Amino acid sequence: MDPLAFFVEPFAYDFMQRALGMSLLVAAVCAVLSCYLVLKGWSLMGDAISHAVLPGIVIAFVLGIPLAVGAFVAGLACALMTGYLKYNSRVKEDTVMGIVFSGMFGFGLVLFTKVETDQHLNHILFGNVLGVTTGDLLETAIIAGGTLLIVFAKRRDLLLYCFDPNHARAIGLPVNVLHYGLLILLSLTIVSSIKAVGIILVIAMLIAPGATAYILTDRFERMLVIAVAVACGSAVLGTLVSFHIDGATGACIVLVQAFVFFMAFLFSPKHGLWPLQKLFRRSGDGAVDSADRADAS
């Protein structure tokens, strides 16, 4: 196949153009937030909220209100419930999150089986980015854009809170506001991602870009840029691959992100298992030794 046709042919279709736009929006907002989640160690929190939105989606459908509203309320309820139980019981946070999100997810599944709907469960769990409408794209753009504006407006405060909450409290930052604000932003991000990758695969998009960038750099500003580049590049390549192999778009995007992460894990210049500098240095030393032996003979 002509390489140019590989990249151009899919986007001759309107549904592929909308799918790419949706994927890029979701990738960008997830990538930015993933840097804070990785730094804070909140990967499981994203998993918890993403599973917990299911009952909110079903209840919103029954009430005839936008699904995004129900998903956001359910996700926020999960986050608040987790925080309350953490501070008012002896149970550790990861245990609380496991109980809360599994309970809410189970409740959502029970509700879904009792409600007559034309929504397919697979589309909620794994997304249906190829079926998004222009209205869906606009809704996601508003949510993602608002989330990014808030994050960048408070990026320094959020960074200090994630890196050292005790120091943030000592210098007078409203730590509780930042804590629950970050949870709200996480809920909004998950809501904006549901139509693209569903409530299962969104956790990968909330972890992989930030984790990849964390391996590749020690500076947070550069980490943000790398995470967005990895996420958006994976969105484009995953969308293209899914078209040509007739596969699930969300799953292909996540697979590309996972591949990039493992490449970074293996060959990152500073923190990789086999840093590229060492590999090149070894090959260079081997060439020098061979030349020295040839000269000696």
Closest CA to 71 of 292, 63, 16: 63
Angle at 44 between CA 37 and CA 97, to 5 degrees: 125
What is the Cβ-side half-sphere exposure of residue 208, based on CA atoms within 13 angstroms? 25
Residue pair 209/230 in contact (Cβ under 8 Å)? The answer is yes
Angle at 12 between CA 9 and CA 10, to 5 degrees: 40
What is the model's pLDDT at position 280? 58
Q: Which two tokens stand for residue 42?
A: 């909140």
Confidence (pTM): 0.84
pLDDT tens across 58-98, in order? 888 888 888 888 888 998 888 888 878 877 888 887 788 88
Residue pair 203/47 in contact (Cβ under 8 Å)? The answer is yes
What is the model's pLDDT at position 281? 59
Structural domains present in the chain: 3-211 (1.10.3470.10)
What is the model's pLDDT at position 211? 93
Q: Where are the alpha helices (DSSP H) in the chain?
A: 3-8, 14-40, 43-63, 67-87, 93-114, 121-126, 134-153, 155-163, 165-170, 175-205, 208-216, 220-245, 249-267, 276-296
Report the C-alpha gap between 192 and 32 in whole angstroms. 14
What is the model's pLDDT at position 69? 87
Measured CA to CA in angstroms, residue 93 lies from 5, 97, 236, 242, 270 at distances of 50, 6, 36, 37, 32
Question: pLDDT tens per residue, the chain (297 residues)?
Answer: 567 777 888 888 888 889 899 999 999 999 999 999 998 888 778 878 888 888 988 888 888 888 888 888 998 888 888 878 877 888 887 788 888 888 998 998 898 888 877 666 677 777 788 888 888 889 889 988 999 999 999 999 999 999 888 998 999 899 888 988 888 888 888 888 887 788 878 888 899 999 999 999 989 999 999 999 999 999 999 999 988 888 888 889 999 999 999 999 988 887 767 776 665 555 555 544 554 555 555
What is the model's pLDDT at position 121? 67
Q: How many CB atoms lie within 10 A of CB 98?
A: 16
What is the model's pLDDT at position 291? 46
Place of tokens 């002896």: 90
Report the C-alpha gap between 159 and 147 in whole angstroms. 16
